[in-house]
Structure 1
Amino acid sequence: MGSILLLVCLLTNPVWVVKTRLQLQNPQHHGRPYSGLSDAFKIILKDEGWRALYKGLSPGPFLVAHGAIQFTAYEELRKIIVDFRRKHNSSSDNSSDLLTTGDYAALGASSKLAAILATYPFQVIRSRVQQRPSTDGVPRYIDSRHAMEKTARLEGIRGFYRGIIANLLKNLPAASITFIVYENVLNLLKRTRKD
């Protein structure tokens, strides 16, 4: 499993570097602005070399684990609710009869919240390390450790959660909808198999 995580990180990190830099572009950056994805790749390789595409690699495995945390939290929370309802409602043994669409929405949002809270600091560190160097060509953060130390020293714990409200507003409703659809399609498939 560890080697798969590492492979995913190695393959996707260059894309994350380019994405981060395109999002953070402003007129004060060194050199001309990137005009798009391929232009960003070319300029990064020309100005900084291939190693720049792997900045922020060390937080990567923690971020790849985000989905595993979310699905594990979802399943564990789901079991708790189903067990509780079974104790108080002996009329049904089928877990799909014990949970409503509202339950799926709440479980989806709760599990996403757990995953975001666990992994968001790594996302902040990765983004900070992946920033384009300033006009003098010097990066603000040397590596992930430097970014963590500087963030903790200058901003405290709040620095590791900068922008989390926007992230939650975007991701919690999406997770709720995803799990509503997932569970309802799964229930539909189970019913059609029985018929």
Structure 2
Amino acid sequence: PEPVYDFTGASADDPEAGRRDYAALQKLLRKKSAWESPTTVYAGRFREPGPTYRLFRGDPMAPREQVAPGTVTALGSLQLDAAASEQQRRVALADWIASPQNPLTARVIVNRIWQFHFGRGLVATPSDFGVAGMPPTHPDLLDWLANQLMQNNWSLKHIHRLILMSSTYRQSSRPSPASLEI
């Protein structure tokens, strides 16, 4: 590539050339400082969240009726007062996500740990546990591991240990002719 600035023609005998060179260098430095100017990001936090509205086709510029904070009804019940503070909303959501009545979170975590160790999860579609996703190959094992996670205070170390100490994990990973046909 061509150099940004070439000093080979600079000479102490030609002061005008030195001034031109200095001016060109100053111009380059101004360009550089324009590239390096920091982007300022502003963030605000309000004491109380504003009202939540149902949006027409998801468009934030087309709000419809006001709704109370909660979850999609199909996922379960999370009832909150519309005047609940941000902290109350966050705590309620965290409690709902980690609730024993909501085993989906534990199932997803356990499936991703299994996928990490074996290359494929018990559910082949780890990002889709819904009706569009694949069913688990071993649903009882998935449920048992999810229960183990919840009963052991959500200890990921415990789940890793269970998987790594299992006879399934200790099986040989050498390819066999039978497994290559699958």
Select the structure with the greater relative contact order (CA < 8 A; seq sep ≥ 6).
Answer: 1
With normalisation by structure 2, the TM-score equals 0.25
With normalisation by structure 1, the TM-score equals 0.24
The structure number with the bigger radius of gyration is 2
